[in-house]
Amino acid sequence: MKITFLGKYGGYPGKESATSAFLLESAEFHLLVDCGSGVLSKVQSYVDLQDLDACILSHYHHDHIADVGCLQYAMLVENKLGKRIEPFPIYGHKRDSKFDELTHDVYTEGREISVDQSITIGPFNISFCETTHPVYCLAMKIQANRKTILYTADTEWKDDLIPFAKNADILISEASIYKDQFGIVKGHLTGEEAGKLAKQAGVKQLFLTHLPHYGDQEKLVEEAKDVYSGPVQLVYPGLEIDVK
């Protein structure tokens, strides 16, 4: 299983960058995880759009879905060019009417994800945990080839994430805020809390994403390392991880 990070920012993309998202590859299947601003452009550096197999969305905040409309137009063009016959699947939860917009004519098809059921998308088995965020949002446990990636999506601290993330090989955690903003900014984790989750869940490696545009992002790594002794790093566009 290979992870390619496409963007690292929360809220909006930085200059020539993208919001937090990544591409997963296994057995020649390509799954795009979240699709915010800048992501559609970035992903084409790593896969031809005609080889992209599916997209999954954690929630419907703009920084996770801004490029979905353009992705749908891309699939329309691919269809018209005869490069794609089946509708492109876009997975998302149904707790919001935004789900209905995931289907665009015959070009894309919305498919439901829910906490009640794990699903199989290509080689990936994925299960979900509701996070604590201003809108309904799902963390994802993604498994393939006996390896586990845990993606927190957007959340503030929630104890349920500890058993959900237990012993994951890779924890991709949001770290939207610095420790001194704890209690001021709701719905997100500090670097320290990401580290605490990594430690308490016993994960092997921690990657921080959904980063702030201000301050020294390396401080988030330091905060995490204060509580977690495993490897910690910030993600950046183009960072590739082979999960073996």
Sites of contact with Zn ion (CB under 5 A): 61, 154
Q: How far is the CB of 59 from Zn ion (least distance, A)?
A: 6
Round to whole Å and give the CA distance between 114 and 103. 17
* CB closer to Zn ion, 61 vs 84: 61
Query: CB-wise, 196 or 210, nearer to Zn ion?
Result: 210
Any idea what DSSP says for residue 230? S
Helix spans in 129-235 (H): 161-165, 191-201, 218-227
Task: Tell me which residue of 191, 192, 227 sits closest to 209, measured CA to CA.
Answer: 191
Q: Which C-beta is closer to Zn ion: that of 75 or that of 211?
A: 211
Say which amino acid occupies 8.
K
Q: How far is the CB of 87 from Zn ion (least distance, A)?
A: 26
Q: Which is nearer to Zn ion, 84 or 188 (CB)?
A: 188
Give the residue with the Cβ less far from Zn ion, 52 or 57: 57
**14: its two tokens:** 């930085």
* Residue (30 or 61) nearer to Zn ion, CB: 61
For residue 172, the surrounding DSSP H or E stretch is strand 170-174
Residues 183/189/192/196 CA torsion (nearest 10 deg)? 110
What's the min distance (Å) between Cβ of 153 and Zn ion? 8
Q: How far is the CB of 92 from Zn ion (least distance, A)?
A: 13
Q: Which of 196, 108, 185 is closest to 154 using CA atoms? A: 185
3-state secondary structure of 152: coil
Residue 163 in tokens: 């058993």
Q: Give least dist CB 32 to Zn ion, A.
A: 17
How far is residue 231's CA from residue 209's CA, in Å, rounded to a whole number? 15
